[in-house]
Amino acid sequence: MKTPARLQVLLDEGLIDGVLRQLKSGKEAEVFVVRCGDDTRAAKVYKAATDRSFRQAVDYTENRKVKNSRQARAMAKGTRYGREQQEAAWQSAEVDALYRLADAGVRVPQPFHFFEGVLLMELVADADGLAAPRLNDVPYTPEAAREHHALLLREVVRMLCAGVVHGDLSEFNILLAQDGPVIIDLPQAVDAAGNNHAARMLMRDVNNLRNFFGQHAPELLDTHHGPEIWDLYAAGRLSPETPLTGRYEPRPGAVDLSAVLREIEDARLEAAERDLRRGAAS
């Protein structure tokens, strides 16, 4: 195949030795299978983030650090330079999260290099050495659904203990490798302690897993791991080995976290719908 211009730079720098094929193309990036010596890896080539709304950017980028005050002002004003810096920060957030989570033992692709807007990382493979399928593309028995659900909850906990919430976790960005599920696509990952939306995002991630695997093991639909996990985290009692029950009873006098988060999410959706109606009427 013809080598994309963005990957030609990596060839010229000796970071890759060949481009084998395109693996996928999405709104945020294109992914290619590349050769590095005797190894086969994935190269994620980022696109400009023109399809993400400003509201989403605010939620995900809250409290993300920038290099200097000029960048912060430009990003706040939405200037061309600011948009370029915001996109660079969006890309580097995934790189930083991957290194951080890989070091914490979370099941994510091993990152190798980030150069000129291209992330070079491990190719997640199935038993035949081919690119692993998404969870959504695989059939499940009830036993397999329960097993994968439990494993992924443990990975969510491990991520949270490392200070990270995925923010967009679902069956569409988890791959089923030969040795089990692997979590991918982390540009929207947020700092659990520094982002006011982290609890809501954690609840959504956990609920997405529950709803997906609950299609195959219906008893999972009655679990409430999200508020349980966040309550343990907020109390400083969460570790990767903490037993989870799937039950959640607010402590006497404590705020019902799940109810509050539902109300916040409902209010946010109502506001978004009002904005859409205003835009359509103008």
For the stretch 173-206, pLDDT in tens is 999 999 999 999 998 899 999 888 999 999 999 9
User: How far, in Å, are 132, 190, 204, 211 from residue 58 at the CA level?
Assistant: 32, 11, 17, 27
User: How far, in Å, are 157, 164, 265, 274 from residue 194 at the CA level?
Assistant: 17, 10, 19, 29
- Number of Cβ atoms within 10 Å of the Cβ of 195: 20
pTM of the model: 0.79
The one catalytic residue in 185, 222, 231, 266 is 185
pLDDT tens-digit profile of 19-44? 999 998 887 889 999 999 999 999 99
In a domain, 272, yes or no: no
- Number of Cβ atoms within 10 Å of the Cβ of 119: 23
In a domain, 32, yes or no: yes
The one catalytic residue in 168, 222, 266, 275 is 168
pLDDT for the residue numbered 116: 87
Residue 267, amino acid: A
Phi-psi region of 163 (alpha: psi -120 to 50; beta: other; left: phi over 0): left
pLDDT for the residue numbered 166: 96
In a domain, 164, yes or no: yes
The range of the structural domain enclosing residue 25 comes to: 5-249
- Please tell me the distance from the alpha carbon of residue 116 to that of residue 97, in angstroms, as a whole number: 18
Q: Is 108 helix (H, G, I), strand (E, B) or coil?
A: coil
Closest CA to 189 of 98, 118, 262, 120: 98
Closest CA to 44 of 89, 81, 84, 4: 4
185 is catalytic: yes
What does pLDDT average to over the chain?
83
In a domain, 274, yes or no: no
What CATH number does the domain containing 40 carry? 1.10.510.10
In a domain, 277, yes or no: no
Q: Domains in the chain: how many in total?
A: 1
In a domain, 264, yes or no: no
CB 37 within 8 A of CB 20: no
168 is catalytic: yes
Phi, psi angles (nearest 5°) of residue 20: -90, -50
In a domain, 268, yes or no: no
In a domain, 270, yes or no: no
Q: Is 101 helix (H, G, I), strand (E, B) or coil?
A: helix
